[in-house]
Structures are given as C-alpha cells and as structure tokens.
C-alpha cells in the first residue's frame, strides 16, 4: 500500500498532456545561451526574445504577465503538429519548456485563457550540426508501448482475480495453511500493477491499507486485514469469526472484480508508464526494503520482486522510444535492473523468497543500495521519453 | 508584555568577564524587564533586531519564544520528572527560571563564584558568545498531571487543562516512544546553535536529581517566519514553508488563535496568556522526493518552487484560488495538495503559529539521511486547530507519501513568569 494520492493528481494531469514535452526549471545540459529563450505572454501578445535558435536542446522560459491562465506551444511547420507544450501557467508564474528541436520551420503560440488558436509567430531552428533526431514521430512507438503494457495489465489483473478467488475461498473455509501458502503468490499480481490500481483512488485504501495507516474509527479491509488474521500476533489479538472472515473476504473479491473491469478501459501513455515504473521502485524503497508492508507475514521480498517486475515491464515497453532519445540512460537503467535482480536472486527459496525477518541488516542494506542505484536513473525516464 | 527586543546594554561584553562582574544576576535580570512596547506599536526598525547581541526579556505576560521572530537554530528537550514531591518540582522550576533569565540575557546560567577545587558553575561553552537572541520556553506535558495509572503526581491533576491530552494516533504515524511525550519541555531558540545547546545543557544539569532528558532534538534551520519582516525560509523539500503562518504583527490573530483566554477552560484558568505546543518529528523521505519530477513536487505542494506562489498564480503572498481551473477544467491547485488541505478555509478557519525547524540526525541503517521537519506549532485549542487538520492531511495529503511522523508530544505552555516569580507559578498557587 502506498499513501500515494498524488498519483491521482498526476494521472489526471498527464492524461491530457500525453504529448507534452518535459517542463523543468533546470535548463537542459547542452543548451547554450542561444538555446535559451524567454517568452512573455499576456492577453494580447506573445513575445519571444528571439525569432530563431540553433538546433539541439531549447529552453523556452515562459512568463505569464497576463491575468488569465496561459499555455505555450511549439508547433510544426504545418501549424498542427505539437512539438512541445507547457500548460497551466497561472498569472504571475513562469515555467520552462525544454525540448529537442531539429532544424526547420516552426510556429510558437501562446494561448491566454487556454482557448482558440493562440497568438502565433513563425520561428526558425537553424542547423547547428548537433545530432537531433526528429521528434514528434513517436506516436506509433508510444501506441505500441501503451498497448503492450495494457496487455500486461490485463493479464496480471486476470491472474490476480483467479488467485484472489481461490485465496478467499480457502480463507473462508478455514483452510489457513493453504491460504497462507497462496497469499504472497496472489498478491504479487497486485504489486506488479500497483500504480495502475492506485490511479483509482478509492480502491487502493480498501484493498491494500496497512494497519498503521488507519484513522481512529476507520474500518480496516483488504489484504493486510486478512494477513493479520492468518499470521496473528502472539498476544492481544482476537481472531475474526467465520462471519467476519466472510465479510472481509467477499469485500476483497468484489473490489478485485471492480479493479479488473476498470483496468480494461485504462489507456497507458509513455509518461504514465514511466512514472509508474519509478513509483514502483519508490514503493520498494519506502515500504518493502524496510519490511513495513508485510509486517505479519514477512513476505516483503515477494512484493519487492513484483514491484521490480512491474517497473521492468513498463521500462522494457518504453525502450524503443528511450533508445532513440537517450541511449546512455537506456543502458544505465537496463544494467541496474540486472544488478538488482542478481541481488534479489540470492534470497530466492523454492518458488519464492526467504522471509524479510530472516535477512541480515547487511543484506537489507545491500538491497537498498541496489534500489537506490536503479531508482536514480529511473527517475529520469519520464522526462527522457517525453522530450 | 511582549517579545519586544531590547538593546543589550552590554553588547560585546563577554560572558567570561561578566562572570566576574555580576555577583548576583537578580538585579540585572529585573532591569531588562523594563521596556515592553505593545506588539501593535512595534515598528519596522525594532521588530527584528539584528546582530548577535540582541536579547529578549524572559519575564512577561507571555513567554518569549512563541511570537518572537523565529531564530535560526533550535535545541528542544523533553524531560521526565523523577522528583516525587510538589516541593521538589517547584524548586526545579524556580531554579530553571533563574538560570533562564540569566542565559537569555547573555549571561552564564549561574553566576556564583566557585572554588578552584569545585566544578565551574556554568559549563562554559558559551563564554564569549553574545545572547544571540536566545529564548527559553517551558511547557508541561499531560503526564506531569497524572501518571499512566491516572494517579495525581503533584497535586495538580484537578487543574489539568481539558486540551492537554496525548495526541491521538494519526494515520501512518510510526511513532518512536523514545522520541515522544514527556513531563516537561524546554524549547531553546537562538541564532547561534552553541548558545541554544549551552542553555539546554545547563538546564539539564540543574535538573539532575529532579528531572532528566527523555528526548531532545536539534534543529539547524528555521522553516517558518513568525514576523512579516522575515523572509520565508525553505524546508528540506526545497519549498518555502509557512508562507501563510500567523505573524507577530497581527495581534488580533494571536489572541484568536494562539493565546489561551480567560474563560477558555474554567478548571485551568492558570493557562490564561499561555498556549499549547504541538511537537511532531516528521521524517522526510528525501531520497524519493529528490527523484520526483518538479511537476509532481509542485502539484503535491500546490505552490511553485522558485517563489512559493500558489499554482493559481500571483506571488508568494497571493491567496490561493482553489476554484481556478486549468487545462481540461481541472483545478490548478489539486484538492489533495498540501496548500489546500492545510488551508484555514478547509479547516474551519483554524490557523496555527508554526515555529518548526529542519533537522538531520545522521543517517539510518540503509544509508539514507535521517532528516526532516521538527514541527512546532502553538495553538489555543489543539482539539480544533491541530487534530482534525492532521487527520485530514494524514489521509489525503499527497505529501504523506514522502513523510513519516516519528515523534509526537503535546505541552501546555503557561503564561510568562513575573519578575521575582517562576515559570508555571500560576499552576501551583
Ligand atoms: Cu502499497
């Protein structure tokens, strides 16, 4: 479970800007002074500090001097293709648009009030000799990546549903040993696609809330409620009655069905996939590597592996785009996934893993370092695939 | 009486030389009590004194260190009282008062001459340092009134304020008992960390036999401004913090939101002119935050990072417009943003005087910085000004993904001591 309500904001925000270039306050590395432009937008004007710039990384620092929310676009020669854009610049604020532009003719546009064609001017990118593969042709690649990842999500939710059905019937029937044996196995399908599940803000707390995250008076449902009942603390715990078991179990199954049907219509854009990949590794860093996720069953390494699986699949699906945009980053992330998997493999036992509480502090630290090594380059993935 | 600063008549005179000059500190302590102007009359010239020699009076109607312009450094300590009699507790408070009145004026904790064969009365590490704006603020925890079994420890249980109860468990709390609660607290704030540490060390020394430190926290940078003349500092997430904080210049706000008024609690009239201090040690997952895109960071905070302006536009001090819409008719400031969830309009008008500090205590076993925000807030009624808001934040704030509350305490901060009296005297008379 994560408390990531923020991903709800993000998906809403990013869904509408699938084509957005990254916006940043850090000017891109090799943008020389000529590659830095300032844009002033108000109700009537859209003033640029220059009419042309050399090809390569460009930074448009857009300041809204008007009284309405504004947007800024760099459009292709046809005036239709969006090369890059920044949205939601409120009055008084400024924001950077960072992008890679090939030589050619363009249009710039400010859109005060976010309506209409915007205030347009012609803009030229001259040939600097810098290697700039054309951007904007990535639609097909993005679509392929999104549909591949969509199939993965579908497959995982189907397996999750099947295994959850078996799990809850075992649990309701009091076959605790068998339920315990299936717990981590079923959950890994959830953990693999957790960012997708979290994007439905109401389901995550119902299905994956930890006891520590409860508010006084709040009803506790979901996986971890059952976890505690199957691995009860030695003292001070009252086991659930068969009727209580049935209620919690049926609720989990219902919620899993809802999740499964909702994911059918989810679209997967490169930015969402890249963010999801990074979020999965954040989950590992804050919950699994510290043993806080599965405090009763200690099956944190199953979740750990599942989060890594999910992050890796999203990354693999995005690689064709990333290889075009940033080869070095692609290599770096791939190498670190492999290294982290090697560390995890040391703790494999049968079909699963050793329990978290069997790890030594040195082993936990080693895993944590592996997560950090991967997460750092992975955090650059979103910007890279959308640039 | 207010936290009006005073020109230290002995600016530049070292503590070491003073040690020889002042036989007893009492007369000098009383002299510094003199000139408290009303807050409303503070002018731009004197509201934030400059330089290390500034001093704030210890005695007065309110304790210093609440609305005092937040100093740069903090040393905070919570104490367990080991004394078992009311008399011993009072003696401790009297001794602390005398030492605090001295140290806040830049003088040694105890000025008594000692024999060459005795340990020095003052520990000495602040010799030669100016007062550095030191304030010492004292508070009483719920456990001072009743022990775990509910027993009245010092004959004061009948006067325990109804607001002074242990804070409830909030969602996602991971509290460390050894960093939580306490019978007494001392908040030492100064512009020089050595001066703040010196103060806590000497008060702890004075307390041996009567009270001992339960937990302590160093803060290296203020995260709030409590005066309009101060710039808003940044927290460890890199964002300006406490922009909308209550400010000392707004006396009406302070009376409404900070100071306990007569009649607030009939069984604890002694709290009139006092306040409640919420202390929370909030660890920040800096490593994962630093891997988060600026887009998400700003969406979580609800302000832009460069200037701290709300995402609805304007500058730092522009009121956020939660109704403002952007692309796709989505609100510019997310409903789960920190600025919205913590805003008074979303919390029944409740405001707090925040006085928190950035901290770092080395690292954890995984090589991550053990760092965050040591949250301090003064409120008139924790039950309406802090508890409901924290419940909402803990459940809905997108920032919670990057936070973990690891320490918690609530203290009743009595009104200021009168010259010749002692801090908390009103509780015992
Ligand atoms: Cu989770």
pLDDT digits (tens, 9 = 90+) for A126-174: 998 876 554 556 778 899 999 999 999 999 999 999 999 999 999 999 9
Closest Cα in chain B to A91: B313
Distance B304 CA to ligand 1 centre (A): 28
B125 lies in some domain: yes
Q: Which residues of B352-375 are buried (b: 16+ CB within 10 A; e: fewer)?
A: bbbbbbbbbeeeeebebbebbbbb
User: Do the Cβ atoms of A9 and B398 come within 8 Å?
Assistant: yes
Report the interhelical angle of A300-325 vs A139-172 (nearest 10°). Answer: 170
**Confidence label for A80 from pLDDT (cuts 50, 70 and 90):** confident
B363 lies in some domain: yes
Mutate to test the interface with B, among A19, A25, A93 (most CBs of B within 10 A): A93
Q: Which of A88, A92, A215 sits opposite B327 (nearest CB)?
A: A88
| Cβ atoms A60, A23 nearer than 8 A | no
User: Do the Cβ atoms of A215 and B300 come within 8 Å?
Assistant: no
DSSP class per residue in B209-258:
TTEEEEEEEEE-EE----STTSPP-B-TTSSB--TT---TT-HHHHHHHT
Å between A6 CA and nearest CA of chain B: 4
User: Do the Cβ atoms of A6 and B315 come within 8 Å?
Assistant: no
**Confidence (pTM):** 0.85
More confident of the two residues A10 and B141: B141
Distance B171 CA to ligand 1 centre (A): 14
Q: Which of B170, B334, B391 sits opposite A9 (nearest CB)?
A: B334
Å between A148 CA and nearest CA of chain B: 25
User: Do the Cβ atoms of B294 and A9 come within 8 Å?
Assistant: no
Å between B367 CA and nearest CA of chain A: 8
Chain A positions touching B312 (Cβ under 8 A) are 90
User: Do the Cβ atoms of A375 and B285 come within 8 Å?
Assistant: no
Residues B33-49 have pLDDT tens digits of: 333 333 333 333 444 44
B97 lies in some domain: yes
- pLDDT score of A2: 54
**Confidence label for A116 from pLDDT (cuts 50, 70 and 90):** confident
B67 lies in some domain: no
B307 lies in some domain: yes
State both tokens at A192: 């693999």
User: Do the Cβ atoms of A213 and B311 come within 8 Å?
Assistant: no
Chain A positions touching B391 (Cβ under 8 A) are 215
Q: Which of A90, A218, A378 sits opposite B313 (nearest CB)?
A: A90
Closest Cα in chain B to A382: B293
Q: What percent of chain A has pLDDT over 70?
A: 90
Chain A positions touching B313 (Cβ under 8 A) are 64, 69, 90-93
User: Do the Cβ atoms of B172 and A368 come within 8 Å?
Assistant: no
B429 lies in some domain: no
| Domains held by chain B: number | 1
Å between B403 CA and nearest CA of chain A: 10
ipTM higher than 0.85?
A: no
Distance A194 CA to ligand 1 centre (A): 7
Distance CA A142, CA B66 (A): 56
- pLDDT score of B249: 87
| Cβ atoms A312, A374 nearer than 8 A | no
A118 in the Ramachandran plot: left (φ > 0), alpha (ψ -120 to 50) or beta? left
pLDDT, chain A, mean: 88
Report the interhelical angle of A6-15 vs A270-283 (nearest 10°). Answer: 170
Closest Cα in chain B to A376: B291
- pLDDT score of B15: 57
DSSP class per residue in A222-254:
SHHHHHHHHS--SSS-PPPPHHHHHHHHHHHHH
Å between A170 CA and nearest CA of chain B: 30
User: Do the Cβ atoms of B285 and A92 come within 8 Å?
Assistant: no
Q: Which of A3, A22, A368 sits opposite B172 (nearest CB)?
A: A3
Q: Domain range for residue B388?
A: 73-112+119-422
**Confidence label for A187 from pLDDT (cuts 50, 70 and 90):** very high
Å between B310 CA and nearest CA of chain A: 9
- pLDDT score of A205: 86
User: Do the Cβ atoms of B327 and A376 come within 8 Å?
Assistant: no
Instruction: Find how far residue B164's CA is from the centre of its chain.
Output: 17
- pLDDT score of A190: 96
pLDDT at residue A21 is higher than 60: no
DSSP designation for B82: -
Mutate to test the interface with B, among A63, A72, A89, A92 (most CBs of B within 10 A): A92
Distance A285 CA to ligand 1 centre (A): 12
Q: Which of B291, B367, B396 sits opposite A376 (nearest CB)?
A: B291
| Cβ atoms B114, B120 nearer than 8 A | yes
pLDDT at residue A212 is higher than 90: no
- φ, ψ of residue B275 to 5 degrees: the values are -160, 170
Q: Which of B292, B366, B400 sits opposite A364 (nearest CB)?
A: B366
Q: Which of B287, B299, B313 sits opposite A9 (nearest CB)?
A: B299
Distance B326 CA to ligand 1 centre (A): 30
Closest Cα in chain B to A17: B327
Distance A1 CA to ligand 1 centre (A): 2
Distance CA B378, CA B277 (A): 5
| Cβ atoms A188, A302 nearer than 8 A | yes
Q: Pseudo-torsion of CA A31, A34, A38, A44, nearest 10°?
A: -130
| Cβ atoms A87, A17 nearer than 8 A | yes
Q: Which of B168, B285, B296 sits opposite A6 (nearest CB)?
A: B296
Distance A378 CA to ligand 1 centre (A): 19
B65 lies in some domain: no
Mutate to test the interface with A, among B313, B318, B321 (most CBs of A within 10 A): B313
Distance A210 CA to ligand 1 centre (A): 8
Nearest of B77, B403, B374 to residue B215 by alpha carbon: B77
User: Do the Cβ atoms of B291 and A71 come within 8 Å?
Assistant: no
B62 lies in some domain: no
Residues in chain B predicted with pLDDT less than 50, given as ranges, are 1-14, 16-49
Nearest of B329, B304, B299 to residue A6 by alpha carbon: B299
- pLDDT score of B8: 42
């Amino acid at each position: 479970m994560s408390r990531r309500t923020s991903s709800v904001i993000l998906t809403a925000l990013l869904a509408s800007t699938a084509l957005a270039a990254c916006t940043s306050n850090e000017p891109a590395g090799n943008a020389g002074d000529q590659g830095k432009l300032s844009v002033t937008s108000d109700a009537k004007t859209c003033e640029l500090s220059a009419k042309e710039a050399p090809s390569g990384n460009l930074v448009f620092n857009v300041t809204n001097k008007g009284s309405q929310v504004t947007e800024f676009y760099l459009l292709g020669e046809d005036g239709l293709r969006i090369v890059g854009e920044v949205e939601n610049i409120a009055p008084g604020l400024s924001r950077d648009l960072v992008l890679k532009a090939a030589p050619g003719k363009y249009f710039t546009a400010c859109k005060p009030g976010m309506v209409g064609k915007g205030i347009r001017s012609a803009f030229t990118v001259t040939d600097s000799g810098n290697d700039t593969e054309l951007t904007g042709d990535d639609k097909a690649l993005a679509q392929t990546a999104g549909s591949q990842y969509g199939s993965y999500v579908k497959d995982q939710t189907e397996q999750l549903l099947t295994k959850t059905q078996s799990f809850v019937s075992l649990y309701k029937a009091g076959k605790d040993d068998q339920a315990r044996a299936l717990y981590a196995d079923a959950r890994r399908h959830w953990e693999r696609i957790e960012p997708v599940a979290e994007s439905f803000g109401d389901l995550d707390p119902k299905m994956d809330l930890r006891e520590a995250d409860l508010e006084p008076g709040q009803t506790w449902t979901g996986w971890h409620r059952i976890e505690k009942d199957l691995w009860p603390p030695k003292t001070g715990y009252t086991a659930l009655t068969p009727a209580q078991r049935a209620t919690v179990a049926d609720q989990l199954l219902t919620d899993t069905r809802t999740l499964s049907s909702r994911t059918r219509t989810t679209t997967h854009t490169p930015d969402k996939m890249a963010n999801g990949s990074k979020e999965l590794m954040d989950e590992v860093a804050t919950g699994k590597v510290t043993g806080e996720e599965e405090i009763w069953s200690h099956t944190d390494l199953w979740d750990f592996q599942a989060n890594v699986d999910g992050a890796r699949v999203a990354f693999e699906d995005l690689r064709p785009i990333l290889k075009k945009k940033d080869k070095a980053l692609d290599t770096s992330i791939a190498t670190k996934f492999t290294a982290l998997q090697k560390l995890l493999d040391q703790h494999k036992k049968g079909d699963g893993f050793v329990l978290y509480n069997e790890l030594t502090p040195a082993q936990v630290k080693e895993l944590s370092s592996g997560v950090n090594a991967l997460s750092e380059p992975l955090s650059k993935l979103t910007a890279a695939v959308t640039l | 009486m207010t936290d009006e600063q005073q020109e230290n008549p002995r600016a530049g005179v070292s503590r070491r030389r003073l040690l020889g000059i002042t036989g007893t500190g009492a007369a000098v302590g009383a002299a510094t009590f003199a000139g408290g102007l009303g807050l409303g009359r503070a002018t731009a010239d004197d509201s934030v004194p400059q330089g290390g020699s500034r001093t704030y009076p210890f005695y007065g109607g309110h304790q210093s260190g609440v609305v005092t312009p937040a100093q740069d450094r903090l040393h905070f300590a919570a104490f367990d009282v080991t004394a078992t009699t009311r008399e011993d507790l009072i003696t401790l408070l009297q001794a602390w008062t005398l030492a605090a009145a001295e140290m806040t004026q830049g003088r040694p904790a105890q000025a008594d001459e000692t024999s060459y064969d005795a340990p020095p009365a003052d520990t000495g590490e602040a010799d030669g340092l100016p007062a550095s704006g030191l304030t010492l603020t004292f508070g009483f925890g719920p456990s001072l009134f009743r022990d775990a079994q509910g027993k009245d420890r010092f004959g004061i249980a009948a006067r325990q304020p109804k607001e002074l109860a242990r804070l409830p468990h909030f969602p996602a709390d991971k509290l460390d008992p050894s960093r939580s609660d306490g019978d007494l607290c001392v908040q030492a704030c100064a512009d020089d960390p050595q001066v703040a540490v010196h103060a806590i060390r000497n008060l702890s020394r004075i307390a041996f036999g009567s009270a001992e430190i339960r937990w302590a926290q160093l803060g290296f940078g203020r995260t709030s401004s409590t005066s309009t003349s101060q710039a808003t500092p940044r927290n460890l997430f890199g964002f300006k913090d406490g922009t909308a904080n209550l400010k000392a210049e707004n006396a009406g706000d302070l009376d409404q939101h900070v100071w306990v008024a007569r009649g607030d609690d009939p069984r604890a009239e002694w709290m009139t002119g006092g306040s409640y201090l919420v202390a929370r040690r909030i660890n920040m997952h800096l490593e994962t935050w630093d891997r988060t895109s600026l887009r998400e960071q700003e969406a979580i905070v609800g302000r832009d990072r460069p200037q701290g302006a709300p995402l609805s536009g304007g500058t730092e001090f522009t009121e956020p417009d939660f109704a403002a819409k952007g692309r796709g008719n989505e609100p510019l400031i997310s409903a789960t943003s920190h600025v919205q969830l913590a805003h008074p309009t979303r919390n029944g008008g409740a405001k707090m005087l925040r006085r928190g500090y950035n901290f770092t205590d080395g690292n954890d076993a995984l090589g991550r910085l053990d760092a965050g925000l040591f949250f301090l807030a003064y409120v008139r009624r924790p039950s309406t000004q802090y508890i409901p808001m924290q419940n909402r934040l803990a459940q809905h704030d997108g920032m919670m993904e990057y936070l973990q509350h690891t320490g918690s305490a609530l203290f009743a901060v009595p009104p200021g001591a009168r010259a010749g009296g002692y801090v908390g005297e009103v509780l015992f008379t």
